A and B are shown apart, each in its own frame.
Chain A
Amino acid sequence: MPRSALYLAGRLAGAALTVLAGALVVYFVMRAAGGDPALAVLGENARPEAVAAFRHAHHLDEPFLAQFWIWLSGMLRGDFGRSLTIAGGIPISQLIAQRLPITAFVGLYAVLIAVGISLTMGTIAALRRGRAADTIATSIAVLGISMPDFWLSYMLVFAFALGWHIFPAYGFVSPMESPIGALYSGFLPAVAIAAPMAAVFSRMLRTSLLEAASRECVVVAQSFGFPAPFVFVHYIFRNALIPYVTIIGLQIRYLLGGVVVIERIFGIQGLGSLMVDAAFARDYPTVLACTIVFLTVVLLVNLAVDFICVALDPRRSI
């Protein structure tokens, strides 16, 4: 077996173990925290017999690890189980299938905006180092990290929805129903999510461009008389891409759930909101399913980033 395949297998096995451990920890913490899904469904004044029947029907009266095993064996067969409380009885896979495309769409939308802004701002700042353009771009970037994203959302709503009536203030059309509508209604939330990311990306791009530009290979290329744009693209930009791609990959975990507040503000039914609602209602299997999805996506993205970095820089090996 080639080395990279071995490496991939090892990484996948490690990721699977991490996901399993994560689910166990989340489950343990939830159960240790108390609260009862039976009371969440049946109300605080439910009859004891009804509560007992509910608990028995959902295996809640069995030992802790036995319950986890029931859930895990179902999950390994591809069955996430059914929602306990928030969407009583609906298969969780169905809930996730509704929410994941929305989260993925808004996330991707925001990343594209952030990449577009940061490629422009970071490059300008690096090329015009120490001049006015650099100062302006760097200041905008520091401002970008310093504004809480939910506050920025309200400012955008204030300006573009309440003031100018260009974009809707609330509500999001699922991309499954209308891609154009999703692009339009998702614009303000995507910008609010993208702003801090764009700031982080362009700072990183500026730093790594400057570092790449100070390498000896650039001086050599210049002394060959290569035109400046050629040197920039092939000697500076390409070397600067690796840290840039890495940091984009790191932001994926923020996109998956860190935007819960923005989802609330704009009424977006995303995955983060699902997990939080489920945690409130002690919907154990739904929380666990969200945990699995989160961890799997984050770990797969990390893996993909590592492979992209190797592709960008053939000297690296895995």
Chain B
Amino acid sequence: MTPRRRARYGRLLAAFLVNPTALLGAGVTLFVLVACTLGAALMPYGPDHADFMDLLSPPSWQHLFGTDSFGRDVLTRVLYGARVSLVVSAAGIAIAAAVGTALGMTSAYKGGAADVVLMRFADLLFAFPSFVLALFLMVVLGFGAANVSVAIALTYFPIFARLARNMTLLVREEPFVQAARLMAEPPLLILLREILPNIAAPLIVQATIGIAFGIVIEAGLSFLGVGVQPPTASLGVIMADGREYFQRAPWVLTMTGVAISCALLGLNLFGDGLRDLMDPRLRQRAQQ
């Protein structure tokens, strides 16, 4: 890392530490991550531990989120379920980011017919309501956790493709890229070493918000019964289960939703904070 770049990262970190939105978002996200890894392991119950003497009991000190129709502790299930939902969503967004960025950067750098075709295709996917597209893909691909990731990836990759393309078009004309080209660096190296580090910031922001989006899509699909399939419990699966006896035991659906909202709140605040930090227009205004 060059000293100049290190100084830039130092400034970013300093700005991050005084930005309340970003800090709060990072705190909540970290809390969610710790809860669904360490917290889940520390829970006194297992996610599938059924207690038939304690069915559908409302929230209490023994069971903070109450119990479900099998007498399972809802909080424990939510913590394990959040893990599944996070992994499914993060996997989908990772695919979307990798494929979308690669395609967007290449098509912006090369231009020509491939660029036009790719962008029309991205526009086409973009014109569909994202949830209907994801649902349609699930019906076609078949249900299950892996296909939820694929559906999330396909609905989200146009966003990465378009963003990477627009950013690359801007950076491509910068003097350091021209210099690299004059030094006859191979295009792949120029894309990876010169352009990618300079367009990474907005892509990371987009990925943070994308993971929140993926969690909602996963929950919605599983809620309808076409996503993750029981006995694997994701947040959507638990909510679908809670819907069955919503009138008798509203806490199952309610508390699971509160947990999802918490996770999404953390990710959204974190993403917002990061965007504020990295947006050069906003940064300039803050300096004035």
Q: Are A25 and B132 neighbours in the complex by a CB distance under 8 Å?
A: no
Instruction: Report if A52 contacts B (CB, 8 A).
Output: no
Residues of A within 8 A of B124 (CB): 18, 21-22, 25
Query: Is A272 among interface residues, defined by CB-CB distance under 8 A?
Result: yes
Interface membership of B64, Cβ < 8 A: no
* Residue from A32, A145, A259 having most chain B Cβ neighbours under 10 A: A145
A215 to B80, CA, bound (A): 50
Residue B253 is within 8 A (CB to CB) of chain A in the complex: yes
Query: A150 — which chain B residues lie within 8 A by C-beta?
Result: 219-220, 223, 239
Which residues does chain A contribute within 8 Å of B137, judged by CB atoms? Answer: 29
- Given contacts A146-B265, A151-B253, whether A258 and B140 have CB atoms under 8 Å apart is no
- Contacting pair A276 B239 (CB below 8 A): no
Chain A interface bracket (under 10, 10 to 19, 20 to 34, 35 or more): 35 or more
A64 within 8 A of partner (CB): no
Central interface residue in A21, A29, A143, A258, by most chain B CB within 10 Å: A258
- Residue in contact with B127 in the complex, picked from A32, A214, A295, CB distance below 8 Å: A295
Q: Check A279 for interface membership: any CB of B closer than 8 A.
A: yes
Tell whether B130 is near chain A: CB-to-CB under 8 Å: yes
Q: Does B269 contact A (CB under 8 A)?
A: yes
Considering the complex, give the chain A residue whose CB is closest to the CB of B243: A154
Q: Which residues of chain B in 8-22 are interfacial with respect to chain A, using CB atoms and an 8 Å cutoff? A: none
CB contacts (< 8 Å) of B262 on chain A: these are 146
Q: Is the interface of A mostly helix, strand, loop or mixed?
A: helix
Interface size on B, residues (CB 8 A): 39
Interface segment among A40-48, A91-99, A110-118, A249-257: the answer is A249-257
Count of CB-CB pairs between chains A and B under 8 Å:
119
Evaluate contact between B136 and A279: CB separation under 8 angstroms.
Answer: yes
* Nearest CB of chain A from residue B220's CB, rounded to whole Å: 5
| B136, B257, B260, B262, most chain A CB atoms within 10 A | B136
Q: Report the minimal beta-carbon distance from B277 to chain A, rounded to whole angstroms.
A: 16
Tell me whether A253 and B127 are in contact in the complex, defined as CB-CB below 8 angstroms, given that A150-B223, A294-B132 are known contacts. Answer: yes
With A29-B140, A298-B127 known as contacts, the answer to whether A146 contacts B264 (CB < 8 A) is yes
Q: Which residue of A lies closest to B253 (CB)?
A: A154
The interface residues of chain A lying within 8 Å CB-to-CB of B272 are 142
List chain A residues, Cβ under 8 A from B260: 148, 151
Contact of B261 among A21, A33, A148, A154 (CB under 8 A): A148
| Residue among A33, A146, A147, A260 facing the most chain B CB atoms (10 A cut-off) | A146
Asked whether A145 lies within 8 Å of B130 as measured between CB atoms, the reply is no
Min Cβ gap A316→B in Å is 19
Known A-B contacts: A18-B120, A29-B140. Give 6 more (CB < 8 A). A29-B137, A148-B219, A151-B257, A154-B257, A253-B128, A272-B132
* Interface residues in chain B, defined as those with a beta carbon under 8 Å from any beta carbon in chain A: 120, 123-124, 127-132, 135-137, 139-141, 212, 216, 219-220, 223-224, 239, 243, 246-247, 250, 253-254, 256-257, 260-262, 264-265, 268-269, 272, 285
Which A residues lie at the B interface, using CB under 8 A? 18, 21-22, 25-26, 29-30, 32-33, 142-143, 145-148, 150-152, 154-155, 158, 162, 214, 253-261, 264, 272, 275-276, 279-280, 287, 294-295, 298-299
A-B contact pairs, 11 of them (CB 8 A): A18-B127, A26-B136, A29-B136, A142-B265, A147-B264, A150-B220, A151-B260, A253-B128, A256-B132, A257-B131, A299-B127
